Structure 1
């Protein structure tokens, strides 16, 4: 039996309706995802999350190349999103879905124009080299706390305030 690796969590509150927060989070990954976090050979032009169950999560290189990161498992706008992270300790995509951690994102309406977003990335033990991936995400760049801060900055730039 594999020893469980703790989940990585993050939380932020933004001054957007839940519908708008879900749409911006899912439809604008490339606008808030840090460009240095990629696995393809080319620099990142965009990060795409296809808006449907079974959709791909991938990076698009400036040269037009595509590099898969995972798949969408649940698409439940504006409440919930569940997708896989299929990047192992060698920092390459693993097409085997049994070698995937999961990222669950929940959107909670705190009012008509305020939403709390909670992220949990779990099941690192499923990844080949999962302990190394966990360490790199949690300690190398601030994990989902830092990623959600980048999303909050995008919201602030689009709304003139954005973060509650």
Structure 2
């Protein structure tokens, strides 16, 4: 039995889309809202790709065509939720031995309006850097900014 304390960051936004469209926008068009400066590749960010299936890759493609893994798709349940495994270390490099979880749920609040919740879980897996990474992910320029950009695109 684990006594590990789960550290998570939660953000939410409501968009004027039904859950199907919100899910599709979030997963298939991530390049359209993902902050360009949030890249770990060697070339400028061109595309963010989420392969639409459990076990699929989550990665960026640079303007030079090179690819850089970010993680994997753990759960693919359109239009209700997707869970992405974030495998980027505190040094901002892909780390296949690290798995934090980005849980994204899509809940219809009323016809044509969907609440999108992101919970980035298991930040304790960063070890000694857990508090610093939590602070970073809670900062205005992290998940808050990403969801704000997503909501603008949904309008």
Q: If the length of structure 2 is used for normalisation, what is the TM-score? A: 0.91
The CA distance in 2 between the partners of 1:93 and 1:4, in whole Å, is 24
Q: Distance in 2 between matches of 1:10 and 1:136?
A: 13
Q: Which residue of 1 aligns with 2:137?
A: 137
Contact 2:138 2:144 in 1 (8 A): no
Specify every segment of 5 or more residues in structure 1 that has no aligned partner in the other structure, as ranges.
157-164
State the secondary structure of the residue aligned to 1:64.
coil
Q: CA deviation at 1:127?
A: 3.0
Instruction: Output the CA distance in 2 between the equivalents of 1:152 and 1:8.
Output: 19
TM-score computed with the length of structure 1 as normaliser: 0.86
Q: In the alignment, is the contact (CA less than 8 A) between 1:32 and 1:150 conserved in 2? A: yes
Q: Deviations over 1:85-142 (max 9, x none)?
A: 111111110112xx2110000100112211111110010121364433323222262x
Q: Give the match for residue 159 of structure 1.
A: none
> What residue number does 1:9 align with?
10
Cα distance change of structure 1 residues 50 and 56 upon mapping to structure 2, 3 Å threshold:
same
For 2:145 and 2:138, locate their aligned partners in 1 and report how far apart those are by CA, in whole Å: 10
Q: Which runs of 5+ in 2 are unaligned?
A: none
CA distance in 2, matches of 1:2, 1:124: 15
Q: Counterpart of 1:127 in 2: which secondary structure?
A: helix
* Cα deviation code 1:64-104 (max 9, x no counterpart): 010000100000000011011111111110112xx211000
- Paired with 1:135 and 1:5, the residues of 2 have a C-alpha distance of 15
